[in-house]
Structure 1
């Protein structure tokens, strides 16, 4: 069977988790290959997601590594049988891999937490606001690329909304005041946030300027909960795309970060009042 030339985010994550399992058992690749009765190259290809892994193989690896933690093994075995192509695959070749992989991560999440410091989270953006965010890029995007990005972002929103996955958005006041597209676009975006805040699966929490501290880094973050904590994923926006993190240290650090945000951000009702007050400022100033 020919190897995969372009494994997906999920396929790579499965390989990473198998490698972690082997390393935690103190086994080298050659040692594990001997226990499985395969060549060392097969172990390397499984861990790099260059070849597929059956659920039976996942369980054999867990047994060889003396891994008795059943829930993660069951979750990995379930990942191994995933064969359906996600809706995002239709955009391969039209958008960068980072866009595709964010949608893939979201679509399998059991819950989402976001931290936004510079702009409204993508899953809550209006069309005009998203257009303004993408239009700021230098050099300017060709029109067809701009439209592809906007449509993809709106499709992500539709999919997550239909799934009912709970989403908590922590939004810094700076992001609420940045006028991408001008005051009218921002006012419409803030009104849209208030509408979204009424949805049962959406929680919007504001972190105002006068909070006693600034939590975390300045990057926009998304924390996607997996079926078990070991399969959680952190995604970070950077200037040239996105980064994904799955190490236990990074996940624990950001679980703590979001727990502290939950303690310090304004409650839901006060957050909605805060958003209304900013919108009123805009209306009074520019109407």
Structure 2
């Protein structure tokens, strides 16, 4: 199992990042240590003798949660047989870094308990991973991608698409989505957005809003210095599965060996699937979604044709003013 150790250093201070990537790395390394010790997760917990549920331990290994109490990881490392030394210190440092809250947590903290569903755990994790992303590929089939939404479009779409039981959460959801777009605009990581053609024609009863939104897309398209590329999907059912959003996040390989992560949103649920680390078999779900994304990339029109499709939609909305 020695060849499966992931070489890594502390993530650089820029971007500052929060818990997402350190938690991803920590979980992968703890899984390596557990498999090296030939222990199950339940056996580790039994040796550690601490009040951590099996589900929480599983989420730690999967990098799904912020490490609220880094000291817990120290106890788990004892149970895993990780002795004092450089490697243990690296893991403890990752645990510390994985305790840093992301910006979306501030909105959740200010919200009353009844409204915290407006910032679900999946959004906390996604926004934290986005802070670290060096490259991202985003596929959306129903609306303009969240990071590209203008404030007015974000507000209207959020209020129109929330279920009746969730409408009381609208203000908080709009706040988080707006902040996410601002964070993206400030960093502008290398990104390619694939947007379903039908989303360009969505009729929300506000053609002026759609004109403003499509002009915002064209600003990225026409700015040759922009690291953001936009391609319009002409296919009726591009993802072939009931998936509304697929995001593939890639991280800098020079400073730490974080695997790619694929986020999907479908039918009100969100899932994360990470790529393999050295010597590990590829997760079948990750492969499926990777292939799904690759098929969209291959079939989507080029940048010039995509621009034409955006302009056609823009003129259609202008004619309705």
The TM-score with structure 2 as length reference comes to: 0.67
Partner of 2:104: 88
The answer to whether the 8 A contact 2:37-2:81 is kept is no
Are the counterparts in 2 of residues 19 and 47 from structure 1 also a CA contact under 8 Å?
no
> 1:210-221 maps to which residues of 2 (within 5 A)?
214-217=238-241, 218-221=243-246
1:118 CA displacement: 0.6
Equivalent residue number for residue 265 of structure 1: 300
Contact kept? 1:14, 1:79, Cα under 8 Å? yes
**Unpaired stretches in structure 1, ≥5 consecutive residues:** 1-7, 65-69
Alignment of 1:171-182 (within 5 A): 171-182=195-206
CA contact (8 A) 2:138 2:192 kept: yes
TM-score, L = length of structure 1? 0.74
Where does residue 15 of structure 2 map in the other structure? none
**CA distance in structure 2 between the aligned counterparts of 1:15 and 1:41, rounded to whole angstroms:** 20
1:52 aligns with 2:63: no
Residues 252 and 241 (structure 1 numbering): CA distance in 2 closer, same or farther, change over 3 Å? Answer: closer
SS at match of 2:70: coil
Matches within 5 A, 1:6-155: 13-14=24-25, 16-18=27-29, 20-22=31-33, 25=36, 27-29=38-40, 39-41=47-49, 48-49=59-60, 51-52=69-70, 79-82=94-97, 83-93=99-109, 94=111, 95-97=118-120, 98-136=122-160, 137-139=162-164, 141-142=167-168, 145-155=169-179
Q: CA RMSD in A?
A: 3.9
Instruction: Kindly state the Cα deviation for residue 209 of structure 1 after the two structures are TM-superposed.
Output: 3.8
> SS where residue 137 of structure 2 aligns?
strand
CA distance in 1, matches of 2:238, 2:310: 19
Counterpart among 242, 245, 252 of residue 270 in structure 2: 242
Q: Which runs of 5+ in 2 are unaligned?
A: 1-18, 61-66, 112-117, 276-282
Offset of 1:165 from its aligned partner? 1.1
Which digits, 9 at most, give the CA deviation of each residue in 1:110-131, with x for residues without a partner? 2111111111110011112111
Secondary structure in structure 2 of the residue aligned to 1:141: helix
State the distance in 1 between where 2:125 and 2:81 align. 31
Distance 1:30 1:180, change over 3 A: closer
CA distance in 2, matches of 1:124, 1:80: 33
Kindly tell me the number of residue pairs found equivalent between the two proteins. Answer: 265
Q: Is the 8 A contact 1:179 1:185 kept in 2?
A: no
